[in-house]
């Protein structure tokens, strides 16, 4: 078994890496701009830049030598003039898809904030100069003024200029000069250099995971790992008793249905299961709080001070999930009841109770174990609705608050840890099969 566990663990390495990459792409690429989602569209570029730098979002996504900066938003003049609409000497011509710097004019590039001294930056320029001369110049660089001549061309051309701001970044100025003819700009981009080609968002994320560091919550300013640790106990205190009670109740009632199959008892529990499945989860919560909480005052309805605060949400969780679990386990038990070995046991004189508990239940452990082990990741994440409605400070409530406040670091950590637990649960499932069923071999 140990050899099997080691081999399966090695096979899981690509799966684990795939989970890491998938969660990384979901939150760093597919999800849009995390800084904009959290801070809003009215946040200053400098504040957005600090947010990106703290979380590595200003680096290349996977690899590359140049990252982005909020100091200058990429200008695509075919779509809009952007910040250039207020620059003297520059005229946006949307019909031509370009920005024209008129002859004899020096247009200063509108930077959102001062660039950081010691960093390396690169301007990328797409231009067209039918006649005359032009240059892109940077004053106040670390090694003096820097410039690149823009060669005359009737076709669109590209140019670039690398520079490092001087010690006094406030003296830095970037400008475009045209002489002897108008200069057309189609695009203008500013990039920030990184340490090496793999100094990327992915590498930043992998280093965080290697240190078990999920970053800091922008909402509470706490380490996310600390928040998960503090919220884990309240979640498990709710979900584990609720899961065990629901499982035992569902399996017991399923065995009872199998024992009295096709009888009024069996039909009653079938109807009960359908009714429980048909009522919405929210209805059970509101009904339980109103009747058992405010009505007869048997249980408190808000807080996490003692075990009494968990009784009502556990009861609601068991009742709301009992319908689907009862239908599932009843089907499993009845399927086993019509097997050949059951008929053989009855033919040998084994009583109905002995057949159910010594044969049917044992052979039905495979689907039961599958449901049990696959529920482990959901025990970790807690119950979103129950924790929110009953004020339990667990991971479920923390996830809801993170979603409402766009706290990306918290959401990403919860998703990643849940996915990792789900992968490990598959390994536990295979091992459990071999322990409860002699027909299964670990090979």
Q: What is the mean pLDDT of residues 17-36?
A: 88
Q: What is the mean pLDDT of residues 271-282?
A: 91
Asked if residues 313 and 386 have their Cβ atoms less than 8 Å apart, the reply is yes
Between 442 and 114, where is the model more confident? 114
Lowest mean pLDDT among 22-31, 207-216, 379-388, 424-433: 424-433
The CA radius of gyration of the chain, in Å to the nearest whole number, is: 32
pLDDT of 193 > 80? The answer is: yes
> What is the tens place of the pLDDT at every residue in 117-142?
989 999 999 999 999 999 999 999 99
What's the pLDDT at 437?
A: 66
Asked if residues 199 and 62 have their Cβ atoms less than 8 Å apart, the reply is no
Q: What is the mean pLDDT of residues 403-407?
A: 89
Asked if residues 250 and 333 have their Cβ atoms less than 8 Å apart, the reply is no
Please name which of 191, 145, 189, 149 lies closest in space to residue 166, comparing C-alpha atoms.
145
| CATH 3.40.50.2300 corresponds to the domain 75-193 | no
Cα–Cα dist 130/178, whole Å: 11
What's the pLDDT at 71?
A: 95
Cα–Cα dist 107/409, whole Å: 40
What's the mean pLDDT when you consider all of the chain? 89
Tokens of 376: 């482990």
What are the extents of the domains in the chain?
A: 75-193, 224-436
Please name which of 194, 172, 175 lies closest in space to residue 185, comparing C-alpha atoms.
175
pLDDT band at 86 (very low <50, low <70, confident <90, very high): confident
Asked if residues 46 and 70 have their Cβ atoms less than 8 Å apart, the reply is yes
Q: What is the mean pLDDT of residues 409-413?
A: 91
Please name which of 122, 135, 192 lies closest in space to residue 161, comparing C-alpha atoms.
122
pLDDT of 435 > 80? The answer is: no
What's the pLDDT at 162?
A: 96
Please name which of 254, 87, 279 lies closest in space to residue 174, comparing C-alpha atoms.
87
Percent of the chain residues topping a pLDDT of 90:
56
pLDDT of 431 > 70? The answer is: yes
What's the pLDDT at 341?
A: 83
> What is the tens place of the pLDDT at every residue in 48-60?
999 999 999 999 9
pLDDT of 440 > 70? The answer is: no
What's the pLDDT at 57?
A: 93
Between 183 and 2, where is the model more confident? 183
Percent of the chain residues topping a pLDDT of 70:
98
What's the pLDDT at 4?
A: 67
CATH class for domain 224-436? mainly alpha
């Amino acid at each position: 078994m140990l050899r099997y566990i080691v081999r399966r663990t090695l096979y899981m390495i690509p799966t684990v890496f795939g989970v890491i990459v998938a969660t990384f792409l979901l939150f760093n690429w597919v999800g849009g701009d995390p800084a904009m989602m959290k801070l809003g569209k009215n946040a200053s570029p400098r504040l957005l830049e600090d947010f990106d730098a703290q979380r590595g979002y200003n680096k290349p996504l996977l690899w590359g030598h140049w990252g982005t900066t909020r100091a200058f938003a990429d200008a695509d003049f075919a779509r809009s003039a952007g910040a250039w609409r207020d620059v003297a000497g520059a005229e946006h011509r949307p019909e031509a898809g370009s920005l024209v710097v008129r002859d004899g004019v020096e247009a200063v590039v509108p930077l959102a904030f001062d660039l950081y001294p010691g960093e390396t930056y690169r301007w990328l320029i797409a231009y067209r100069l039918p006649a005359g001369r032009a240059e892109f110049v940077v004053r106040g660089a670390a090694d003096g003024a820097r410039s690149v001549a823009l060669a005359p061309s009737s076709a669109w051309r590209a140019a670039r200029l690398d520079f490092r701001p001087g010690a006094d970044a406030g003296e830095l100025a970037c400008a475009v000069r045209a002489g002897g003819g108008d200069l057309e700009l189609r695009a203008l981009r500013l990039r920030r250099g990184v340490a090496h080609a793999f100094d990327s968002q992915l590498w930043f994320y992998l280093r965080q995971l290697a240190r078990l560091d999920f970053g800091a919550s922008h909402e509470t300013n706490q380490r996310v790992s600390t928040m998960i640790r503090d919220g884990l106990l309240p979640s498990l205190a709710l979900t584990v008793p609720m899961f065990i009670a629901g499982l035992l109740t569902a399996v017991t009632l399923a065995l009872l249905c199998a024992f009295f199959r096709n009888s009024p008892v069996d039909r009653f529990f079938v109807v009960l299961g359908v009714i429980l499945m048909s009522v919405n989860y929210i209805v059970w919560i509101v009904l339980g709080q109103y009747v058992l909480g405010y009505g007869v005052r048997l249980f408190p309805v808000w807080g996490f001070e003692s075990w009494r605060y968990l009784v009502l949400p556990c009861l609601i969780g068991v009742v709301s999930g009992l319908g689907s679990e009862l239908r599932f386990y009843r089907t499993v038990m009845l399927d086993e009841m019509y097997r050949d070995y059951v008929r053989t046991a009855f033919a040998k004189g084994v009583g109905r109770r002995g057949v159910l508990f010594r044969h049917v239940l044992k052979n039905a452990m495979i689907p039961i174990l599958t449901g049990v082990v696959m529920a482990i990741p959901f025990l970790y994440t807690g119950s979103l609705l129950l924790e929110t409605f009953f004020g339990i400070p667990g991971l479920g409530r923390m996830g809801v608050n993170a979603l409402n406040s766009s706290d990306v670091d918290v959401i990403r950590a919860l998703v990643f840890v849940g996915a990792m637990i789900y992968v490990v649960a598959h390994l536990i499932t295979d091992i459990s099969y071999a322990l409860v069923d002699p027909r299964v071999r670990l090979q």
